[in-house]
Structure 1
Amino acid sequence: MTFLRDISFLWSMLHIAALYLLLFAPRCSWRTTLICSSAGIGTLTVINMLLMARQGPVGIMHLAFFTCTIPSLLLFFLLSKHRDGRFFFLFCLTDTISFWLMQITNLMDRMAGNTYVVLFLSRLVLFPVVEFLLWRYLRRPYLELQEKLKKGWWLFTGVGGTYYLLLMVTAVPVDTPLPDAAGLLQVALVMLLMPLTYLTILHSLWRQMRMYENSRQMELQQRDYNAVCQKMELTQIYRHDMRHHLATLDELLQQGNSDGALQYVRTLNGGLESLTHPAECANSTINAILTAYIVQAADAGCSVDTKISLPEKLPFEETDLCVILANSLENAIHACRDLPGEQRQIRLEMELTENGRLIVSVENPCPRQVFFDSNGLPEVPKRENHGLGLPSIRATANKYGGLFRCQWETGRFILRVVLIPLEPAKPPVRRTGPLTYGILVLLLCLILLNCLPSLANALEEIPVLGTVVRVVDLRTYTLAWKDGVRSTPAEWNRIE
């Protein structure tokens, strides 16, 4: 049955490369990458199979670092787009996953009688299953992670390299005796800690990237918000100075200089044209944001139909409102740029309900059908500085425990957001746990026993309970001399 062992080894070698290519960012085209990697991995596989036939499975396990790991590392380093900590971490990740699977299947075969049948069948199934899971759940976020996050990889590479060495040291090759109980415990601990560590690393990297993107998005929104506020302030200054402009016009007309008055009016009108916009509602923040983006929409040839019913004060942070409106309107304007002029129509509705909930709805034309992923976000190609607006809106809705929904209906893309006012923060209620109650009861018993000697003496006469009472009775540990005899006050009472 040794041919099953050899086939399972060959199967594992091929899938080590497959696992790596799933998360790989190539330097060249995928066609060139697949041709070069297939040629290189095929050559290494043949060499390792010949060495295995000559040295045996134990010998090839000892030589694998030099005959498999180093050559494949050099091969993929030449083909990789990233030649820094990102490459080395990915190499350690895929290699350790592969060796982890090989070790697991080896131990399963040992427990089944070392017939190589379980070894072959388990590897035949586990490698494709792991590859499917990586493709389904990890590939897209990991590729995005590699593109967006360029620092902090070397530390995690060191962790991955350490686990690689641990697996190589603690591995139990095929056809070798199993170690003793202590050795098996070491193997089990390494096998358990490795996936937990990698999950922690990937989660940490993902959170770090999201925090960076959110902070950058907030900075951009804050900058736009500040610019809008400056425009609004400048508009107020123009309105405040209007009486001076009217006085100037009156003087020009009194002098009979109608041409000068007309030119002054035209100059004044041109200065106000880019600053003024009819107020949409009583809230100044909403007006400021809409002023900026309605002007952008007009520049792009889009018309914005608004239906807004909002009071002057809203129970939400101004920056959060800016995130929702700015991102949604910017996406709608961007979607309309490639459409004919008569179709560039955006509809915005905002309403504050009686129970304080803010409902925002943005619609824009979208002739092509949109498909959504499991998170309810549109499945669109990832591009630089794109694809962050909707996740930012969703994060804002989640902050207020609200609702976020995207949908496509008959050529229209609809975004709806509902914000729920946050309840005032209540002081945390400190609940007393059972341990605290136990300690208080013990202290109360201690006080009663030591303040009521007669109660303590009565309880000490009870079997079993008396032993416990004497332990907590402080008189037991108070030594003194009486009539030349060293004894305790409790003994004095019993003698008397």
Structure 2
Amino acid sequence: MLLQILFYTHHLTTLLFGVFLSAFFLGVNRDRKNIGILLLSALASGLLYLICIFLIGTEFSDEIYPFVVHLPLLLILVFYYKFRWLQSLTSILTAYLCCQYSNWAGIFVLTLTHEEWCYYLCRILVTLIVFFLLCRYLCPTTALLFEKSDRELIIICSMPFVYYLFDYATTKFSTLLYSGSKVVSEFMGFALCLAYLLFLLIYFREYELKSRTEQYNELINMQLRSLRSEIEQAKKSEHNMSILRHDMRHHLMILQTYVQNQETDKALDYIQQIHQTYENTIISTFSQNELLNSILSIYSSRLQELGIAFHAQVAAPKDLPCSEMIFCAILSNILENAMNAVKDLSQENRRIELHIFEKMNHLMLLEKNPAPVPPVFSDGIPVTRRSGHGLGVKSIIYYVESQQGQYQFFMEGTDFAVRIIL
């Protein structure tokens, strides 16, 4: 009786381990709704697997396990959560690879004790421990890593895919792997799994360092370009002001002539022209914070060149209440995404609204831009199936979470909006 309970508990924990970990590797939110959906899908697959066992036996059921469990899970990740096919497949194969920890540990204990109940108990405990550790330390890494282009995902997916084929070929469809010592044979998979997880961590650290360095370099370059632009504007403004001062006597004489001839309309039009000329000499400043002002100035110029109206209301202090580098990295990602979203729209829809202000020692950011075709949302996050896209949104989320901030993506009428609190 005890052995049967442990047997079914082991299969249940392994099934839940694979289903939940496959979703969490992709960054699916761990809320009640998603946990309920994943739990229902796991129970449905488990029930189907039990039916197969009673109808066709355990051996053949294990051989068709990928069609009973893995394929439905793949379809849920692709069609319900809107992840790309290769993303979803990589996540499922990685979760399957991670099952090797409990498998090797169970066989090791079985070899020592020669008791099957010890084997199943060990597998259950190791499965729970590994699930907790991976969810806490690895899932945030894979959520960003699996957003990379299909070409890079093929490299990442190659190792778990080879192991998947190897495992089924040598354990499910044959007993080649167990022709010798089980401990030695299973240790190969255990070592492979360990090497793969270490590869993920090292690769992500390198990617994170490279990404942050590139982001900071881009921000510094943008600041330098902004300073050069401001110097050029100042020189141009000084030149124009000297001309205006020189011509002021002539302007007054022309205005006097219009007034004496009672040509009021012409005088008003001429005053308006002079006013516009003076307006063109004013150098716009968005913020007292130099880096923030540089980012806004650069994007203001780029948007103006593309014919995009940019309405910015900025009330940020000189010293930001958060990391200015991270905030400006978030801002540049948001403005870049907005610019790409509206640059091909009709002229009346080429506009971007930006609000930045401080409240209760927190920095608030709200950006809006037209979106005639609303984006697809998954768990409140806009997603795309286009290879190489979506990394900007993931970067925004990563930077916000690194500062324990809050983010929200939503539609306001026909406008797409982003709200950030740091």
Correspondence for 2:63 among 45, 62, 66: 66
Higher Cα radius of gyration: 1
Q: For residue 89 of structure 1, what is the aligned residue in structure 2?
A: 90
CA distance in 2, matches of 1:165, 1:392: 37
Per-residue Cα deviation, 1:417-464 (whole angstroms, up to 9, x for no partner): xxxxxxxxxxxxxxxxxxxxxxxxxxxxxxxxxxxxxxxxxxxxxxxx
CA distance in 1, matches of 2:227, 2:245: 27
Q: Tell me how far 1:93 sits from its aligned partner.
A: 1.8
Contact 2:110–2:116 (CA under 8 A) maintained in structure 1: yes
Per-residue Cα deviation, 1:66-98 (whole angstroms, up to 9, x for no partner): 231333222112212235222222222222322
Give the SS at the match of 2:105.
helix
Q: Tell me how far 1:306 sits from its aligned partner.
A: 4.1
Q: Are the structure 2 counterparts of residues 290 and 185 from structure 1 closer, same or farther at C-alpha, using a change threshold of 3 Å?
A: closer
Q: For residue 10 of structure 2, what is the aligned residue in structure 1?
A: 12
Q: For residue 280 of structure 2, what is the aligned residue in structure 1?
A: 271
Q: Tell me how far 1:365 sits from its aligned partner.
A: 6.3
Q: Are the structure 2 counterparts of residues 240 and 414 from structure 1 closer, same or farther at C-alpha, using a change threshold of 3 Å?
A: same
Correspondence for 2:76 among 75, 79, 96: 79
Q: For residue 230 of structure 1, what is the aligned residue in structure 2?
A: 229
Give the SS at the match of 2:138.
helix
Q: For residue 135 of structure 2, what is the aligned residue in structure 1?
A: 135
Asked if 1:198 corresponds to 2:197, the answer is yes
Q: Are the structure 2 counterparts of residues 203 and 263 from structure 1 closer, same or farther at C-alpha, using a change threshold of 3 Å?
A: same
Tell me the amino acid that sits aligned with residue 272 of structure 1.
T
- Superposition pairs of residues 162-241 of structure 1, within 5 angstroms: 162-168=162-168, 180=180, 184-205=183-204, 207-208=206-207, 211-212=210-211, 215=214, 219=218, 222-223=221-222, 226-227=225-226, 229-241=228-240
Give 5+ residue unaligned stretches, structure 2.
Answer: 259-266, 302-309, 334-353, 365-379, 383-389, 406-419
Tell me the amino acid that sits aligned with residue 123 of structure 1.
R
Q: For residue 106 of structure 2, what is the aligned residue in structure 1?
A: 105
TM-score (norm 1): 0.52
Tell me the amino acid that sits aligned with residue 238 of structure 1.
S
CA distance in 1, matches of 2:286, 2:143: 46
CA distance in 2, matches of 1:208, 1:180: 40
Tell me the amino acid that sits aligned with residue 235 of structure 1.
A
Q: For residue 264 of structure 2, what is the aligned residue in structure 1?
A: none
Give 5+ residue unaligned stretches, structure 1.
Answer: 309-320, 339-343, 348-362, 367-380, 396-404, 408-412, 416-496
Q: Tell me how far 1:160 sits from its aligned partner.
A: 0.9
Tell me the amino acid that sits aligned with residue 50 of structure 2.
T
Query: Which structure is higher in helix share?
Result: 2
Contact 2:102–2:124 (CA under 8 A) maintained in structure 1: no
TM-score (norm 2): 0.60
CA distance in 1, matches of 2:172, 2:108: 8
Q: Are the structure 2 counterparts of residues 217 and 74 from structure 1 closer, same or farther at C-alpha, using a change threshold of 3 Å?
A: farther
Correspondence for 1:44 among 46, 49, 54: 49
Contact 2:52–2:61 (CA under 8 A) maintained in structure 1: no
CA distance in 1, matches of 2:230, 2:325: 19
Q: Are the structure 2 counterparts of residues 278 and 126 from structure 1 closer, same or farther at C-alpha, using a change threshold of 3 Å?
A: closer
Count of paired positions: 331
Contact 1:228–1:289 (CA under 8 A) maintained in structure 2: yes
Q: Percent identity?
A: 13
Please tell me the root mean square deviation across aligned C-alpha atoms, in Å. 5.0
Contact 1:86–1:153 (CA under 8 A) maintained in structure 2: yes
Q: Tell me how far 1:266 sits from its aligned partner.
A: 0.9
Q: Tell me how far 1:179 sits from its aligned partner.
A: 5.5
Q: Are the structure 2 counterparts of residues 232 and 41 from structure 1 closer, same or farther at C-alpha, using a change threshold of 3 Å?
A: farther
Q: Are the structure 2 counterparts of residues 230 and 245 from structure 1 closer, same or farther at C-alpha, using a change threshold of 3 Å?
A: same
Contact 1:148–1:209 (CA under 8 A) maintained in structure 2: no
Tell me the amino acid that sits aligned with residue 13 of structure 1.
H
- Superposition pairs of residues 46-445 of structure 1, within 5 angstroms: 46-48=51-53, 60=59, 63=60, 65-81=62-78, 82-112=83-113, 114-147=114-147, 150-168=150-168, 180=180, 184-205=183-204, 207-208=206-207, 211-212=210-211, 215=214, 219=218, 222-223=221-222, 226-227=225-226, 229-254=228-253, 256-257=256-257, 259=267, 262-273=271-282, 275-277=283-285, 289=294, 292=297, 301-306=313-318, 323=325, 326-327=328-329, 337=355, 344-345=357-358, 363-364=361-362, 385=392, 388=395
Tell me the amino acid that sits aligned with residue 14 of structure 1.
L
Tell me the amino acid that sits aligned with residue 281 of structure 2.
L
Tell me the amino acid that sits aligned with residue 242 of structure 2.
R
Correspondence for 1:35 among 22, 40, 43: 40
Q: For residue 351 of structure 2, what is the aligned residue in structure 1?
A: none
Higher RCO (Cα < 8 Å, 6 or more apart):
2
